[in-house]
Amino acid sequence: MTQLPPSGPDAAAPAAEAADGLTNGSGGAAILAAGIGCGALGVLALAADASPALNHLMSVYRPSGALSGVSTSAVLIWLAAWWGLERRWSARTVDLRRITLVAFALLGVSLLLTFPPVMDLLQGK
Amino acid sequence: MEITTRDLWTVVHGMGFGALFMFAFSGALAELYRMTTPGAGYQPSPREQVLFRFYLGAMVALAWGAVLSGAYVVYPWYRAAPPAGADLADYPKALLVSTRRTSAWHTVGMEWKEHVAWLAPIGMSMVAFVFLRYGRAMSRFPELRLAALGFVLTALVATGVAGGFGALLNKYAPVRGGTVIHLVDGERGKADDAAPPLRP
């Protein structure tokens, strides 16, 4: 019977797993979650800047304004993503190359979206 | 010599947390690179690895201290809305946006700084966890090592932006006020009788 090739995060699993059983899944989960958290920060910062309603909603601590909600939400998204991914991947070997690429892409998005001239450009200001 | 509570908190935020965190990057980058290089002749001892874990843990604490004290202690003073007729010197954001010559310090500088700074604690927490979990074994996973170094470099850039703009913003529109803390008595000068006290 023909064995199907692995798909998903295991698709190109590296052969780095050693005899000690240490897999790269836990590291992959932390890296992707960090990328997701950073990306969420950028998207939420842009959204709160563009939408007065969301800006008001994000002002969970009035003296700090929308920054309080944007940063708290991004941190919660990061921790939730980390928790979920860690549960799924901690004992597995995952395609770390693809995960790292996605995490760097999200990090790039966050760097762009937190830069005010880019925020203004995207909003047509 | 006097200082106000707001001055003190600004120093704690910028120098106590931010600058110390910034100083630590060179050590983190050098040790992370050295300890995780595949095939390197150098083998860090278990003690060195433990020390580096504490080092990264201290960086994480400094990074979170910097963003939390900034967002929840100093920033509210910075962005407070002035009442009608108030002296704008006590309201840094209002002072900056009151003229075209300085408004971009807020619309570009502060708005960039307040968001991008959060990338540093998130990234450094991840790096510290990965090193805690894998230690020297990171050398067996090239992408893990690449991601860790990439996030540390990004955290360095984010901290540089936040720290640089923080210093300049505090130069053009310092956060002032609060309770005056008297530190030491200075020598009496000619202007003492006419000098106004430090703004409360």
Touching check for A118 and chain B: CB below 8 Å? no
**The token pair that represents A111 in the structure block:** 């760097």
Under the banding of pLDDT at 50, 70 and 90, the label for residue A8 is very low
With an 8 Å Cβ cutoff, the interface of chain B facing chain A consists of: 67, 71-72, 75-76, 79-80, 107-108, 111-112, 114-116, 118-119, 122-123, 125-126, 129-130, 133-134, 137-138, 140-144, 146-148, 150-151, 154, 157-158
Whose CA is closest to A78, among A40, A21, A122, A121?
A40
Q: How far apart are CA B82 and CA A67, in angstroms?
A: 20
Contact B52, B31 (CB under 8 A): yes
Strands (E) in A34-109, as ranges, are none
Residue at token pair 């941190």? A75
> What is residue A77's predicted lDDT score, i.e. its pLDDT?
98
Q: How do residues B66-118 score in pLDDT, each as one tens digit?
A: 999 999 999 999 999 999 989 999 999 999 999 999 999 999 999 999 999 99
How large is the average pLDDT for residues A23-44?
Answer: 97
Under the banding of pLDDT at 50, 70 and 90, the label for residue B43 is confident
Q: What percent of chain B has pLDDT over 90?
A: 82
> What is residue B42's predicted lDDT score, i.e. its pLDDT?
76
Under the banding of pLDDT at 50, 70 and 90, the label for residue A1 is very low
Residue B58, burial from CB neighbour count under 10 angstroms (0-12, 13-18, 19+): middle
Q: Which of B111, B118, B133 is opposite residue A71, by nearest beta carbon? A: B118
> What is residue A18's predicted lDDT score, i.e. its pLDDT?
52
Q: What pTM was estimated for this model as a whole? A: 0.90
DSSP 8-class letter at B41: S
Look at chain B and count its residues: 200
Helices A25-50 and A66-89 pack at an angle, to 10 degrees, of 160
Cα separation values, A30 from B53, B125, B126, B141, B152, Å: 16, 9, 6, 14, 14
Residue at token pair 């590291």? A27
- Cβ contact, residue pair A26, B133, below 8 Å: yes
Q: How do residues B127-155 score in pLDDT, each as one tens digit?
A: 999 999 999 899 999 999 999 999 999 99
